Amino acid sequence: MTSTYRSLNPTTEKLVKEFPCHSDPQLEATLARAHQAFLTWRHERLGTRTQALLAIAQDLESHAEDLAALMASEMGKPLSEGIAEAKKCAWVCRFYAEQAADFLATEPLESDGSAAYARKDPLGTILAIMPWNFPFWQVFRCAAPALAAGNTVILKHAPNTPQCALAIENLGKRHLPKGVFQNLFLSNQQASLLIADPRIRGVSLTGSTRAGQEIGAQAGRALKPMVLELGGSDPFIVFDDADMEQAVKIGTFSRCLNSGQSCIAAKRFLVAASAYAEFTERLTQAMTELTIGDPLEGCNMGPLARADLRDQLVHQVDEAQKHGALIQGQTQHVPEVGYFHPAIVLSGHSHLSVPAQQEFFGPVAQVFSFTDEQNAVELANCTSFGLGASVWTRDLSRIEWLAPRLDSGSIFVNGLVKSDPRLPFGGTKQSGFGRELAAEGLFEFINLKTVWIA
């Protein structure tokens, strides 16, 4: 059970700072402040709430480089990716500041009364349980719509990114009323107590499928609405008429972004048999040419965030080889110090083998071949996950047939699977349920209240 939050630099393997979990009295005080703040925040003019989001957006952009350096030192994200993440957080704040009035507008309804309408009221305090891999973006894509709607938020961040959590809390302190956004360093047992407390009115989790099962069970027992964004093993489907150069370029970027530690990364490359040899050769070449090193020094990939994550990936690659997988190639010059793992291409093993059914949370690409469209769908859907899918073809008529048959929360055609404030985001099967972003993300934590007048 987590008792301390540890900021440990994954490049140097050196401990930077430790933070004890908050005490139970501190937890109670924080929750009381959040609930009391909600009673006022929910009735603030919408313009006041959206102006706060705009101020946070400006702050994020002004300090993007500093925040990126913090991400690099705490979980290994390359500096350029961290800057982009901070700016994307500013984007989502601006998006909800600009769209909240339309999203929250009262809806007139037909009824047997003289009038009827639906209000969109906030629920209360939302518990956001967030991961380390995108330590700012994951928080803001949950918090921005929740705050715009009039909810308050308590953040339980990952135990290895405490300084990122404090930086986000400080943004809230600078621009929001006291108690509207707060951070808590919590053990899992304390988080369970929070979920059960009636003052917590909803739970949002981004994390592993296992975490989703635990948190989902607890929130279900407490009858709390929840959003679960969990793991993924996204298929990257390449037909023989695809723009091969672009598919390889985007596929490599998708697989190795954030050192491969992304739920929506391309993880299984499904390639038409006639194009399999060419694509695999090109992908292998692109992966082996990546540079790996200190995330502050302009490399393509930094380290994995923790030693146990690297060790798990090494174990999965070993298991895949035992099931017949061949290593086609891997990046060279991997630093000896730090939690680094080379980018690797695996091929030759069955798509039904145990390793092929797992999520590889790191820069390991698995390549399989398919015979036709039906076979491509079978391979894409054969895992327990269903987060995103990328399809590469010049024949766009294929998409009409493929789209209703692929089990995924999103399909990106000839492009990178990504999250965008304007588009609903989430998964199906063991990748979770509920939606973030767009109007749907705001609606997850509101009370759609019917008002009927005789």
Given a contact cutoff of 8 angstroms between Cβ atoms, the answer to whether 203 and 219 are in contact is yes
Cβ atoms within 10 Å, residue 174: 11
Handedness of CA 346, 276, 237, 323 (dihedral sign): negative
The b-or-e profile of 283-319 (16+ CB within 10 A means b, else e) is bbebbbebebbbbeeebbbbbbbbeebbebbeebbee
- Contacts of residue 272, Cβ cutoff 8 Å, sequence gap at least 6: 238, 239, 240, 369, 370, 376
Given a contact cutoff of 8 angstroms between Cβ atoms, the answer to whether 76 and 295 are in contact is yes
Given a contact cutoff of 8 angstroms between Cβ atoms, the answer to whether 355 and 326 are in contact is no
Distance CA 454, CA 447 (A): 22
Handedness of CA 421, 422, 424, 425 (dihedral sign): negative
Residues involved in catalysis: 229, 263
Retrieve residue 447's tokens.
Answer: 């009370």
Distance CA 236, CA 221 (A): 37
Q: Which of 322, 309, 379, 311 is nearest to 355 (CA)?
A: 322
The b-or-e profile of 374-397 (16+ CB within 10 A means b, else e) is eebbebbbbbebbbbbbbbbeeee
DSSP run (H or E) holding 51: helix 46-62
Question: Could you give the 3-state DSSP secondary structure of residue 224?
Answer: coil
DSSP run (H or E) holding 204: strand 200-206
Handedness of CA 122, 43, 206, 264 (dihedral sign): positive
Half-sphere exposure of 169 (CA within 13 A, CB side): 18
Which residue shows structure tokens 């003289």? 114
